[in-house]
Amino acid sequence: MVANAPKKRANSAENASSLRVPGPKASVLDMIGNTPLVRLNQVTQHLPHSIEVWAKLEFLNPGGSVKDRAARAIIQDALATGEMTPDKTLIDSTSGNTGIAYAMVGAALGLKVALVMPQNASAARKRIMSAYGAEIIYSDPLEGSDGAQRLCKKLVDEDRAGKYFYANQYGNPNNPRAHETTTAAEIWRQTGARVTHFVAATGTTGTIMGVTRGLKAFNPAIQTFGAQPADSFHGLEGLKHMPTSIVPEIYDESQLQGTISVQTEDGWDMAEKLANKEGIAAGNSAGANVWAALQLAEQLVQQKLPKAVIVTVICDHADRYLLAE
């Protein structure tokens, strides 16, 4: 009986696991969303147990990041309205994740994709986009995401033949709408309607603006905060320091309760802690999100708030930052 016990436990675990296996999908696009929400237990040990911090694991989307949601919404809407057709090429600027998402969705739908990105974007991201068949156009590495935006807009303005569909993730309302209708609804459901605060970093700002509107539609008392780099010269890939950047058209800071500044070192250090303390290998933008969420949690403790349910986002996986050139 003793010798057989481990086998019985293993079979029991296998049976329990099989009950959670998702059903078949018509295409990879149907795998986007419905990502897990996981409580952070180790990096929050200094907090009272009643102050909860949860992370939405967006790297489990098929394209590996939170940007899958916006890319799918932007492309599907453009196809429905006729702005995007099989003979056109989708073009947009990207720091990496949205580009990968565009490339993946484009490959699944048989569409051509061209991506403008800084020359110094991570090697892993460049390789993934190329694997999906996207064309990559490089912008000045010293100009960051703003430089990629400017070059992309120049190419679109010079497109007399109508070759391109300009997806414009920084100004396309389908970017935040994707999060308003999916991410926010998932968070509301997964927390059992207990969510009290949401924190997300500002890049295109689609996540923070969309989730803000979605959650406040469920409960106007929910507070949302944007996290952004503390200065313009930072190493948090994909994020914008709003006072010195081209502000996205979709961004409206007045809808937030406030912003939290993050130093580059804090974002990177938290990403390392997430890996070796929580078992979550995340990118540095996710590290910035969690660091900001913990700052908010500590403020709530100081304010003697009896309980809170804070949710943030793990934007992507560490593998996009760790692969060698």
Going by C-alpha positions, the residue among 33, 35, 39, 36 that lies closest to residue 309 is: 39
Q: Which of 67, 112, 126, 273 is catalytic?
A: 67
Cα(261)–Cα(231) distance, integer angstroms: 8
Cα(203)–Cα(229) distance, integer angstroms: 10
Q: Which of 122, 139, 145, 285 is catalytic?
A: 285
Q: Which residue has the tokens 């593998």?
A: 319
Going by C-alpha positions, the residue among 47, 29, 40, 55 that lies closest to residue 285 is: 55
Give the other-Cβ count within 10 Å of 10's Cβ: 10
Q: Strands 223-229 and 258-262, how do they pair?
A: parallel
Q: Is 67 a catalytic residue?
A: yes
Q: What angle do CA 282, 288, 292 make, to 5 degrees?
A: 130
Q: Is 25 a catalytic residue?
A: no
Helix (H/G/I), strand (E/B), else coil: 205: coil
Residues labelled catalytic: 67, 285
